[in-house]
Chains A and B, each alone.
Chain A
């Protein structure tokens, strides 16, 4: 069974700073990698996906995938108070479509 672990559990970053969130997975057949964000009292919402090794940039957000190291990360540049949320890494394999979610990283942006 795929295991997805996120670190750190919580993170405090000053406004305008860089936030870095990490995720490791256990199945080398993993194919699809997602980052979801959940604001308090709401459902999770997809932030971005990455399916190939390397970097993918969308605005202030950059995802990095290294399948050989079983590692995916999310970097948030110029952090804003609205970035304060719970961030989930989610992984699936090609043959098993369901997503396995990590336990989440709570990000707080300090004004």
Chain B
């Protein structure tokens, strides 16, 4: 069963708190992604990971960091969360990092920073 999971699904944090979003996939995909989705802006790439400990910044990496210690698991960390990081975050995975392969998305985490 090809699946991307995300935990938690909903999260409320206060400004300045640390946030950990977790993502898993069961397809042994090399490449994993973190996006955020805001109304009218589509999906913006935060980080891309090409394999374990091989991470690259996306288009909006400021304020975020990532960790990938196992191929099937990819974490997004917000150190000292800000109110403008309130958003829906999606994790995705694909067989390869070239654009020719389908990306499989998780169900998303809705993060509210108060």
State how many angstroms separate the Cβ of B53 from the closest Cβ of chain A.
Answer: 18
Query: Would you call A31 an interface residue if the criterion is a C-beta within 8 Å of the partner chain's C-beta atoms?
Result: yes
Report the minimum CB–CB distance from A41 to chain B (whole Å).
8
Residue from B31, B43, B97, B107 in contact with A42 in the complex, judged by beta carbons closer than 8 Å: B107
- Residues in chain B near residue A96, CB distance under 8 A: 99
A interface residues, tally (CB under 8 Å): 27
Q: Is the CB of B103 within 8 A of A99?
A: yes
A99 touching B99, Cβ below 8 Å: yes
B99–A45 touching, CB < 8 Å: no
Once A43-B105, A46-B103 are accepted as A-B contacts, the answer to whether A88 and B43 lie under 8 Å apart by CB is yes
Return chain B residues, CB-CB under 8 Å to A102: 42
**Residues of A in contact with B (beta carbons under 8 Å apart):** 1, 4, 31-32, 34, 41-46, 49, 51, 88, 90-94, 96-99, 101-104
